[in-house]
Structure 1
Amino acid sequence: MEKENDPVGRSADLSLARAVRDSKAPAIARAAAVMRLLGKSETPLGLQGISGALGLVPSTCLYVLRALVAEELVSFDPDTKRYALEVGVLTLARQWLRRNQFSDLAQAVLDRIGQAFDVTMLGVQIVGLEHIIVVATSRTGRNFQFSAQVGDRFPALISATGRCIAAFGAYPERELERRFKSLRWDDAPSLEAWREQVAQTRAQGFAVDEGNYISGMTVIAAPVWKGRDRPSHALVAISIGSALKRSGLPELQDMLVSSAATISRQLSG
């Protein structure tokens, strides 16, 4: 779960720019990159800011923006000359959520666990080694609440969910190492320590991040399978480490694992 030092996020910009450069369908990649950039920004952006962040020629970027405005996916303010996401994006997202079986199955589980242990709960979808996307949330906890919204994207291998992906994804070690080195943590584990944690995750069926990703916070994740090859989703619990120990860490771990197993069976039929 990546933290950024500026509203847009320079590392995210570079990733989007590379995706546009390497795409075999550049028109689609440019439109997607523009929308993702606008979605990450806390304020509307001008043409020069967008084209510069994505490495696009301004005239090409303007063509993409005008097409997105025409489709009501992006809005343009003629007074400020800036662009932002438009309500049409919400329509697409709502249609996807209506068809997303995991979100429907997970929501009641997230609410129940959140209330029982006073934690923030997330349901995330795993997109290979690229990233994870929050598709369901529950902030029923009375004390600490981790700020994450449906649609937020984080690097795939970060925190507890990342350990689950590394443990059960059958990815090449060299690729895992390369991506691990690019991650940003509050208290980064060494590669050797992280590998040991991945092995422990594989043995026990869930992962724990104790203050590595966010100092003072404990994150627990249990993988969910839609097929047999690799985890497709994960259930994630987040809370202050000391509070989590008081509320019953072993019990929370057991409930996460059993709930993830139940949802896996439901998804796989």
Structure 2
Amino acid sequence: MKPATHDAGMTVSRPAVGVLLRDWRRRRRLSQLELSIRADISTRHLSFLETGRSSPSREMVLQLADRLDLALRERNRLLLAAGFAPVYSENALDAPPMTVIRSAIRQVLDGHEPYPAVVVDRSWNLVAANESLSVLTDLVAPRLLVPPANVLRASLHPNGLAPHIVNLGEWRSHLLHRLSRQVEFSGDPDLADLEEELRGYPGGETHASGPTANDIVVPVRLRRGGRVLNLFTTLATFGTPLDVTLSELSIESFYPADEETARELRTRRSDPS
């Protein structure tokens, strides 16, 4: 472990870069030979880097991080572990450099009306939303919407959307599968804790059967006011982020899966009462 000194004078342990490289290689299910071929280095050199017998250059850290397909946050962590300064900035969304990003997000959210849309961070915490999200949040207990509100928790919690979802088992399986893949790819312990929490919620057996020949997407069927709204979602990210915060933002947009739902959402937009 390498020491890391903070401004307050406290020293904490930080994993050596070789340990992190080895752990990420194993998480990606790559042998040393496979990774060395991808990175165009010898297996011997990679072995020396992982065991600490050799120290990687800044360029080598970035090259290996790229071949391991690491998130920007993890690339910065590797650089710090190797003794280098982070390459990627991490600005708060309300910081001046993010002004154009905030404007773009607002344009996307507003342009999606009268259908719901949200912006979430890597932990699925709500960052921003359009007014039409109220068609969902009106059904959620207020305490689940206190910032930082987690949209997956609000969806599957017994006091959230879960009691109103007609196909809860199917939708629950879809969300848990998505989260499980994210946990596996990112290694994020907070996401692993969230997955464990969500799997412990009652109110819907995991949907085990596969799609039928007529299925196109997995919808969420939401019972509201005597009607059932059929919605499907798309997930969008920024294409070429160089900022950690920006790279971890996703925009999830809800679309009507039938004309009845579209008409209901349009009517609700024009007459919220």
TM-score, length basis structure 2: 0.32
Higher relative contact order (CA 8 A, sep 6+): 2
Greater C-alpha Rg: 2
